[in-house]
Amino acid sequence: DAGITQSPRHKVTETGTPVTLRCHQTENHRYMYWYRQDPGHGLRLIHYSYGVKDTDKGEVSDGYSVSRSKTEDFLLTLESATSSQTSVYFCAAGSGQGIPSYEQYFGPGTRLTVT
Amino acid sequence: LAKTTQPISMDSYEGQEVNITCSHNNIATNDYITWYQQFPSQGPRFIIQGYKTKVTNEVASLFIPADRKSSTLSLPRVSLSDTAVYYCLVVDTGRRALTFGSGTRLQVQP
């Protein structure tokens, strides 16, 4: 897992409640990402960060916000959880340098269920 | 973002070579081609990346023709443990972002 941990690993929450997922890395990677994966689909990018306090939206960013106050931590917040946000969430990190420069290391995933 | 198209599924037997082809007709000049592997209940794992011609590592080879509109991942002598979903991606170098399609589900039989 190249030093990528996610917490919690499993969570059940109710519609309308805020939820925060945490990603922690120990390799000092510059770039960090949040993806979601739904059954029968590949991963879709939610948000990513290219440095402390520097973030940008991915293709499915509505209803999500992120924060990165330290290099090692990248938080994903569901502002008001909906059933459509039930999914497996993966965090990833990469350095964007050297060869291969686009390799990303993925965490084990967080399974979120919104009831 | 360059869209990729790859077969939904493939079957093989242990010991055979497997070639998975991906098309990416609108790849941009600066984009790279990357392949990832994903086992059930795990995050994807990087396999190989390339820009043009051929790249080989200890796990696989990647063949990219001159027009770069397609690429082929070659897995030599697959084993049962190679059963997984394989994703072909074109990396948006401006954002370092990965766009995953639905992938190819490879099933290796004994």
d(CA B68, CA A85): 36
pLDDT given for residue A102 in this prediction: 72
Verify whether the Cβ–Cβ distance B42 to A108 is below 8 Å: yes
Total length of chain A: 115
Instruction: Walk along chain B (110 residues) and give the pLDDT tens digit of each residue.
Output: 668 999 999 999 999 999 999 999 988 888 889 999 999 889 999 999 999 889 999 999 999 999 999 999 999 999 999 999 999 988 876 666 677 778 999 999 99
All residues of chain A having their beta carbon less than 8 Å from the beta carbon of residue B87 are 42
Total length of chain B: 110
- Residue A37 carries which DSSP code? E
Question: What pairing do the DSSP bridges indicate for beta strands A19-25 and A10-13?
Answer: unpaired
3-state secondary structure of B100: coil
User: What sections of chain A are H helices per DSSP?
Assistant: none
Verify whether the Cβ–Cβ distance A96 to B96 is below 8 Å: yes
Verify whether the Cβ–Cβ distance B49 to A31 is below 8 Å: no
In this predicted structure, the answer to whether residue A10 has a pLDDT above a threshold of 60 is yes
pLDDT given for residue A99 in this prediction: 43
CA atoms within 13 A on the CB side of A42: 25
> Are A86 and A112 spatial neighbours (Cβ–Cβ below 8 Å)?
yes
> Average per-residue pLDDT in chain A?
90
pLDDT tens digits for range A90-103: 999 988 654 445 78
